[in-house]
A and B are shown apart, each in its own frame.
Chain A
Amino acid sequence: MSSERDRPFVTDDTQVQTETRDARMTGGGADNRFNSKLREAFGSSPFILTKFDQFMNWVRGSSMFMLQFGIACCSIEMMHTYSVKHDLDRFAAGVPRASPRQADVIIVPGTIVSKFAPRMKRVYDQMPEPKFVVGMGSCTISGGPFQEGYNVIKGAEEVIPVDIHVPGCPPRPEALIYGVAKLQQRIAEGESSPVTVKPYELEQFDDLEQDEIVEKLADQIDEDDLVMRYNWADSP
């Protein structure tokens, strides 16, 4: 356990973040999001591994811990999905965890604005792998009704990768349940789609390209502060 190689799960934030992105970007098939220590341990014996993998996928799909995460209007419908009548718990996904470190699914329920995106990224980065994202509502698809706003991120995929999009404004609880069920199905089958993130990434300030605005802010921001740079003109 001394060298870097022996510890594949370094909890250095920056590390996690790029690893996640790379995993997402290469995509394809049962991707390495499903990697685990167990799998590495069993790695030498492919026969057991396949079975075990299937078993693990089934387990993952059948016991999902959701992150208790509210942003905007959609979170009200999300609360309805969790509580009486719709009761997401029936689908083995109804234990909202308050801490990202205990959750494996994050439902993004609402509009993401410039001030919030870096925080959401951080929350996402803090979740342990494998992790999945359900985008709830038009806002997480494109910015929804606020797409033209000066401050609104044009969809969650600008910041984090999304597995399932549930359209609607807000989607009805039934729709969200359907989305979650679909996600479970996909996890259980070991599928995941290649997702590309158009990265609005957290970067260290001095890694940014020098331009007018960077120069202007140079005396306000420390070089190693994490920042997110928005290029609005390139957003859809």
Chain B
Amino acid sequence: MSLEEPTPDDGAVETLPTGADEIAELLGDLVIDTETHVNAPGFVIRPDTVQETLRRLRDEAGFDHLSCVTAEEREDRYESIYHLTSFDDRQREVSVIVPTTKDDPVSESAAPVFRTADWHEREAYDLVGIDYDDHPDLRRILLPETWQGHPLSQNYDQDRPQIVTLDEWENPLAEDHREDEGDTMYINIGPHHPATHGVLHVKTVLDGEQVADVDPDIGYLHRCEEQMCQTKTYRHQIMPYPDRWDYASSGLLNEWAYARAAEDLNDIEVPEYAQIIRTMGSELCRIASHMLAVGTFALDVYGDFTAIFMYAMRDREKTQNILEDLTGQRMMFNYFRLGGVVWDLPEPRDEFFETVRDFLDDLPQALEEYHDLITGNEILQSRTIDTGVLPPEVAKSYGATGPVARGSGIDYDLRRDDPYGYYDELEWDVITEDGCDNFSRLLVRLREVEESAKIIEQCADLLEDWPEDEREIQANVPRTLKPDDDTEIYRAVEAAKGELGIYIRGDGTDKPGRFKIRSPCFSNLQTLPEMSTGEYIPDMVASLGSLDIVLGEVDR
């Protein structure tokens, strides 16, 4: 594990190029122009050298994490931006910009280098209309196959009528198996199905009880989040939307993703006191979210609304009550503001701290119950240990993050690796498990709840002792924010499901020119075929549960 914790005297790390000049040197004449993004240097390359460039960056410069692919249409060109970073050192970042012409927007696909590019490019094709050469399977991903036009391109007419089919899907393997007398069966799981956690449709082909092929079909909750954010103003109007991306109570974590990107874009300093409140609120959200994940996972494995689900809901109710005291809402908090939070802790403060402490005091016992009921349960163990295996290399290639990556032993957590808020001042650990299976992912979540509790406790202590006249909850922020034209930023935070990144391009107005959401669930869900093919069907359901996806965030 020496690579996970880079130390300055580690030879391998020292030779990796980090500065813009070094990377430019490495890429040589592949680079045709350079740009500067707020978060990273940007290199413009020709559309037919995408694979070569990315491969070189991955193999020779250690940029092994393709975090996001942003596509957009500009006045005179289409652009795909590959946001690369590294699992070992999150603060090394580079953007690779691939412009293509308006009349022939064809660009080489990155899918052979990073498997995660597969879905990201499909999305780019779907919403913006860029064609990717050499892509394994370029078709629409979020919108129905029969959709006309690309909604985030410039001349899209939103009023044109559309026709959507109610398909009967065909068994894609029917032909292959007919000859060797094997018999495969095709089943649709979803979009309305209790095991899919919302409106996911999994096209599954079974060979006996084994999964021969699975293809997650998403887009049943594509609510145009990016379009919504692009038509709203930075200062106040965008903030309610993040709550609705990952709605399994990760509201504050999502709000932080937007707040962080927008604050860095506009150079806003957040007062320390507000940062602590943010940190505390976010960790409460993380607990609520992990509780739901654990509860529904048990639901998937045991198959009924049993005790565990009810226990998890009980504990969620508690966090929701605290969050309601803090923010005024149970789920859609809208509590962060650029530059701070909207109001201070509720009065009387003592009572609030008491509720928080009570919750924290009860938590160890509650967790013990979970461990008794879940992790210590033989049935669950035999159902989850060594099923849904996701090796770390595969996870990295798919850009998996969050508990999914950490359950595969990847020591990657943005709260520590790219610190924000108040995390670097506090005592807590990043949890990893080496099992790579469904059980590890479950365990990571349960153990992260403990860590979150630690963080909340420290925050509560700090807040309690904070001198009364220094409780500054908001920085001074101008009423309208207008970042300069062509300033671009990609910033991420560690949300409950993993790395939640936001790309914003300012265009000189008070609304973003392009707002792109990098959703952790989107990337995590991509690993499902990898984990389930060849396994039994109930294990696929368990794997899906262990990924803990929220469709609102997958589809956005």
The interface of chain A, by Cβ under 8 A from chain B, is 68-73, 75-77, 79-80, 82-85, 96, 98, 100, 110-111, 113-120, 122-123, 145-146, 148-152, 169-170, 172, 202, 205, 208, 211, 213-214, 216-217, 220-221, 225-233
Contact = CB atoms under 8 A, between A and B. Distances in A.
Contacts of A68: 194
Contacts of A221: 146, 163, 165
B162 interface: yes
A182 B552 CA distance: 30
B165 A118 contact: yes
Nearest to B190: A119
B167 A225 contact: yes
A122 B496 CA distance: 34
B165 A111 contact: no
Contacts of A80: 313, 316-317, 320
Listed from nearest, the 8 A-B pairs whose CB atoms lie closest are A149-B224, A73-B247, A83-B313, A233-B159, A118-B166, A226-B166, A116-B220, A150-B151
Interface residues of B, number: 55
Nearest to A123: B192
Given A113-B220, A226-B166, A145 B247 contact: no
A213 B162 CA distance: 8
Given A73-B331, A80-B316, A115-B220, A151 B143 contact: yes
B249 A119 contact: no
Nearest to B249: A76
B228 A148 contact: yes
A134 to B, nearest CB: 16
B163 A72 contact: no
A201 B197 CA distance: 27
A115 B145 CA distance: 9
30 contacts: A70-B199, A71-B198, A71-B221, A72-B199, A72-B244, A77-B331, A80-B316, A83-B309, A84-B310, A85-B314, A98-B194, A111-B221, A113-B222, A115-B144, A116-B220, A145-B228, A146-B224, A146-B225, A148-B228, A149-B223, A149-B227, A150-B158, A205-B165, A208-B163, A211-B161, A225-B167, A227-B146, A229-B162, A229-B164, A232-B160
Given A111-B223, A115-B220, A123-B192, A232 B164 contact: no
**A contact face: mostly helix, strand, loop, or mixed:** mixed
A149 B198 CA distance: 20
Contact of B197 (A70, A145, A146, A148): A70
Interface string B121-162: 000000000000000000000011111100100001011111
A73 B191 contact: no
B305 interface: yes
A213 B148 contact: yes
Interface in B275-321: 292, 305, 309-310, 313-314, 316-317, 320
Contacts of A117: 164
A116 B160 contact: no
Nearest to B158: A150
A160 B220 CA distance: 17
Contacts, number: 168
B223 A71 contact: no
A94 to B, nearest CB: 10
Contacts of B199: 70-72, 116, 119
A175 to B, nearest CB: 11
B159 A232 contact: yes
Contacts of A213: 148, 160-163
Name the residue in A79, A80, A169 with the highest tally of chain B Cβ atoms < 10 Å from its Cβ: A79
A229 B163 contact: yes
Given A75-B198, A80-B313, A225 B166 contact: yes
Interface in B226-274: 227-228, 231, 240-241, 244, 247-249
Contact of B161 (A169, A202, A225, A230): A230
B73 to A, nearest CB: 15
B541 interface: no
Interface string B184-208: 0000000111100111000000000
B224 A122 contact: no
A122 B158 CA distance: 26
A71 B231 CA distance: 25
Given A76-B249, A83-B314, 8 more contacts: A84-B310, A85-B313, A85-B314, A116-B199, A146-B223, A150-B158, A170-B330, A205-B163
A229 B161 contact: yes
Contacts of B198: 70-72, 75
A128 to B, nearest CB: 16
B514 to A, nearest CB: 16
